[in-house]
Amino acid sequence: MPVMNGLEMVKRLKKNTQTAVIPIVLLTAKDDRDTELESLTLHVEAFVSKPFDPQLLFSRVEQVIASQQQMQEKLRLEAITTPKKEEVVSSDEKFLSEIIEIIEQKLSDSDLNVNALSTVSGISSKQIYRKVKQLTGMAPVEFIRSVRLKKAAMLLSQKKFTVAEVMYMVGFSSHSYFSKCFQAEFGKTPKEYVE
């Protein structure tokens, strides 16, 4: 090989995530013990030195293919037969994730407030106020604003939308109020955040 030797090529292939899983059969003129040991440390699937018996090479390739198929079958069976780990979620986590989901669904609605959360979730306004305050340390109105601002920051960082578009997407209708809230949350105005 004019640019690099076979072992160097193997190193490069094994470092690259896209090619690291490709099985490698090393067919080489170097038949010394050091080269064979280095090929093993590089996780070469088969080492065949020249001059070689074509039948031996064919058998090694068949062996590598069969081994790969067995490994894939084993992994597939394990994925099917291994029970899925249940995520233990407390009632508080469940409550908060439901509230966040509702907020995200209604994000562009500038009228979203505790009463709207209560109507959609079926939980009383008092219960929402008490639980949100207990779990986040924020009043529900502050929590809704915080979720909106975090979403705004995410959208602004993508640089696909103008500040005005993001403002409306996250439910603010006043440019100055959006800028004031954003700066209080992130220490920068939306325009500075984009830059």
What tens digit of pLDDT does each residue of 49-93 get? 888 888 988 998 999 899 888 988 888 877 777 666 666 578 888
The whole domain housing 41 covers: 6-81
- Where are the extended beta strands (E) located within the chain? 25-28, 46-49
In a domain, 135, yes or no: yes
Structure tokens at 158: 């993508």
pTM score over 0.75: no
* Token code pair at residue 167: 């403002």
Contacts of residue 164, defined as CB under 8 A and 6 or more positions apart, other chains included, come to 175
Q: Look at residue 93 in the predicted model and tell me its pLDDT.
A: 85
Do 101 and 31 reside in the same domain of the chain?
Answer: no
Is residue 54 one of the residues assigned to a domain?
A: yes
- What distances in angstroms separate CA 18 from CA 13, 14, 135, one per listed residue? 8, 9, 43
- Residue 57 falls within a domain, yes or no? yes
List the CATH number of the domain containing 170.
1.10.10.60
The verdict on residue 69 lying in a domain is yes
Residue 18 is predicted with a pLDDT of 82
Distance in angstroms (rounded) separating the CA atoms of residues 128 and 132: 6
- Domain limit, last residue, from 43, 59, 81: 81
Q: Which two tokens stand for residue 100?
A: 């966040």
Nearest in space to 148 (alpha carbons), one of 172, 113, 183:
172
CATH number of the structural domain spanning residue 67: 3.40.50.2300
Q: Which of 25, 56, 81 is the last residue of a domain?
A: 81
pLDDT at 87: 63
pLDDT at 1: 66
| Alpha helix stretches (DSSP H) within 42-90 | 54-81
The reported pLDDT for the residue numbered 62 is: 93
What pLDDT score does 85 carry? 63
Residues 99 and 163 in one domain: yes
Residue where a domain terminates, one of 53, 81, 109: 81
**Which pLDDT does position 90 carry in this prediction?**
81
Q: What is the distance between the alpha carbons of residues 174 and 180, in angstroms, rounded to a whole number? A: 10
Q: Which DSSP letter does residue 28 get? A: E
**Structure tokens, 8:** 């160097």
Could you tell me if residue 122 is inside a domain? yes
Give every residue of the chain whose pLDDT is below 50, as ranges: none
Q: Are residues 156 and 138 in the same domain?
A: yes
pLDDT at residue 86, rounded to an integer: 61
